[in-house]
Amino acid sequence: MLKTQDIGYWYTNEQDYLYKNVDLTFDAGKMYAILGASGSGKTTFLSLIAGLDVPKEGSIYFNDKNVTSIGLRNYRKNDVSTIFQSYNLLPYMSALDNVLTAMSICQTQVNNRKEYALEHLNKVGIDESLATKPVTQLSGGQQQRVAIVRSLCCNHDLIVADEPTGNLDDQTSQDIVSLFQKVAHEQNKCIIIVTHEQDVAKKCDKVFELKNKTFELVK
């Protein structure tokens, strides 16, 4: 589904590159973790595969098409959903409206978008009364769950998530990871998670560790 071919990235000087010649393949129906020390470049890598930035070298292919020929905007709208560390919810809207707005932009094909969104919010413990409050009145962990539901409701084939369980208690974190697992395996999606948590990585089908500027397959 997703392939990186010889990609390299650096911010200011090429000599200070984060990585070079990265050739990785991510398949549909699998959940991946990316581990690595703070500052190693995990978030940067997610922004490349999410089409938010472009590599300095090499190319990224989604279903054998170069994402630059798909067009980054089309790629983000139709193919990939991103869960950001900082949630990036629209603060003046309710949780439900955040999800519905994303579904409308992505043109999610379901019979009743509101019912679908509420059902998915419910699955992660956000009931209708919470879902209709301004999202800024929700706790950090609740907002994180709204951001996760927003990405799942777009029904894109690729979901990338930056520390999606960083703000959640153990039980909620396990529930979210199980939900991701189910979505990957039963709906044939590809899910790529940046995480510091070994427990999360253990539940993934494959794990890459970013170390010494190289991605190593450790599981």
Binding site for ligand ATP (CB under 6 A): 11, 18, 36, 38-44
Number of H helices, E strands in the chain: 9, 10
* Contact predicate 35/218, CB 8 Å: yes
* Contact predicate 133/169, CB 8 Å: no
- Judged by beta carbon, residue 21 or residue 187, the one nearer ligand ATP is 21
Q: How far is the CB of 13 from ligand ATP (least distance, A)?
A: 10
State which amino acid sits at residue 217.
Answer: L
Tokens coding 159: 């979901």
Closest of 10, 163, 197 to residue 84, by C-alpha = 163
- Judged by beta carbon, residue 69 or residue 86, the one nearer ligand ATP is 86
* Contact predicate 147/88, CB 8 Å: yes
- Judged by beta carbon, residue 38 or residue 171, the one nearer ligand ATP is 38
- Judged by beta carbon, residue 39 or residue 186, the one nearer ligand ATP is 39
Helix (H, G, I), strand (E, B) or coil at 92: coil
Q: How far is the CB of 32 from ligand ATP (least distance, A)?
A: 15
State which amino acid sits at residue 20.
Answer: K
* Contact predicate 6/55, CB 8 Å: no
- Judged by beta carbon, residue 11 or residue 92, the one nearer ligand ATP is 11
Q: Give CA–CA dist 120/153, Å, rounded.
A: 8
Q: How far is the CB of 117 from ligand ATP (least distance, A)?
A: 29
